[in-house]
Structure formats: C-alpha cells, structure tokens
Amino acid sequence: MRIGYVLMEFPPLTETFIRREIAALCGRGDSVVVYAEALVDHPLSVTAPGPGLTVRHVPFQRRPGDLSAAARRDGVAHLHGSLKSDSHRATQAAANALGLPYTITAYSGRDIFTVSEPELYQGIARDPACRAIVVEDEFMAGWMVDRFAIPRDRLALVANPIDLEVYRPEIPRRGIPSSSSPSPGSSGRKDCSSSSRRFSCCRRAATTSSCGWSDGGRTRTTSAGSRATTRKSSFSGR
C-alpha cells in the first residue's frame, strides 16, 4: 500500500516516534511518500531507513493544491497527517479532493493545548473519509472528548515512545550504559509494535467503510481497537 505522510517538517528532530512509524511501515513492505512543508538539514536529524521511502518538499501552506496534485501523481491510497493542525487541515482537504481515506495524529503539543481549534477537529471527526483521529494515551483521549467534543469512538489510542535506539544519551551516568550499549533489560532491538499497530488502521482503511479496520476477517471499530492496543508508556521529554 502506498501511504502519503503529511508533515510540517522532515526529518523530525524532536518528535522521534515519526521516524519509527515510517520505519515500521517501510519494514512491513508498504511504500511511504512524505510530503513536507519544510525539509530539515541538521546533523542531528535522522531519516527513516527503508527503500520504500520517498521524501518530497511540498509547500502546501502557500500552495494548497500542490499536495493533492503530488498525491495523485504518486498514486497514494491513504493520507496521514501528523502533529500540527496545519498538516491536519491540508490532509483533510487533499483527501477530500482526491476521494481518499485519511487519518490524523492529534499530538499533545502547542496546536492542541494552546492554539486549540476544536471546530477543525469536530469537522474531521464528522468526515466519513476520516478513518480515525489517533491520540497517544488516555489523557489525550479525554482531552479531545472533554475539550473538543470529539466522539470517543472516533479516537484510536497508540503509544508514541521515544526511539532510544537512535536518541540514547551520550554521557553515561552512574551505572547507566553509554550509547554504545543497550540499556539494562533491553535487547538493543527496535520495538516498532506500536507504530505497526497504528498503521494497521491506515493500511486497511481503504477497504473499510467506517472508522475501523479488518482483523482476521472481522472489522472492529477504533473504539474496540483502542482498548485492544492501549498500553501505558512512561517517559520524559520528546
């Protein structure tokens, strides 16, 4: 499946789960096309690996039609808007113009807590083309329900842990291994299970008629899927 991933900037410097999501998709054989408002050139930036990744600079804020045109040329089957409300707005507009299903990630950041555009997300929740609004934990689910009046069954919960494989602290502290060694109790292997679960929703969205996804011949709503995939993640920093 070819998935269009709409971002304000790429590669990400702080939202490390984005790299892991894209790596998980490429690893399972999907093709990912990143449409970024801005491309980041920084020594700390890490691009997701995988031969299935294509990155395009698409200034969709200044030229909104460029996103739908690029997605049409690339033969994208599903659009996903991650993080900021501008990418969510652009994703919805492009998906509607092309008749494609889409999902968005409502992240616990400035655009949700400070800028706050409940009308935008209410409209997305009502849009039948939107397969799910992804949130990272129960707190964010409660925020979207209580503050933005989003129906609970339109939310899918998927954790977004930090990628310690890449972003492990360089300076060892009393008894804590440096970046060259895996942490205690760790196999040193990436765990992309959360990312894979998130995009099971994306990957199968084109074949479902409601906010849900197929699972072994059954179709479950994102509400049921949320209960099945929710797990607690405790970490500091992003």
230 vs 17, more confident:
17
200 vs 21, more confident:
21
The first and second tokens of residue 125, run together, are 């929740």
65 vs 188, more confident:
65
For the chain, the average pLDDT equals 76
What confidence tens digit (pLDDT) does each residue in 20-56 have? 888 888 888 999 999 999 998 877 676 656 689 999 9
What confidence tens digit (pLDDT) does each residue in 59-110 have? 999 998 999 999 999 999 999 999 889 999 999 999 999 999 999 999 888 7
The first and second tokens of residue 110, run together, are 């400035």
Tell me the pLDDT band of 112, cut-offs 50, 70 and 90: confident
Distance CA 108, CA 102 (A): 20
The CATH architecture annotation of domain 2-160+191-229 reads 3-Layer(aba) Sandwich (3.40)
Output Rg (C-alpha) for the chain, integer angstroms.
Answer: 17
Measured between alpha carbons, how far is residue 83 from residues 10, 40, 111 in Å? 12, 16, 8
Instruction: Read off the pLDDT of each residue in 209-234 and give the average, rounded to a whole number.
Output: 35
What confidence tens digit (pLDDT) does each residue in 154-175 have? 999 988 877 776 666 665 555 5
pTM of the model: 0.70
Q: Are 134 and 195 spatial neighbours (Cβ–Cβ below 8 Å)?
A: no
Instruction: Tell me how crowded residue 209 is: count the other CB atoms within 10 A of its CB.
Output: 9
CA dihedral over 13, 133, 221, 230, signed as positive or negative: positive
Q: Which amino acid appears at position 227 of this protein? A: R
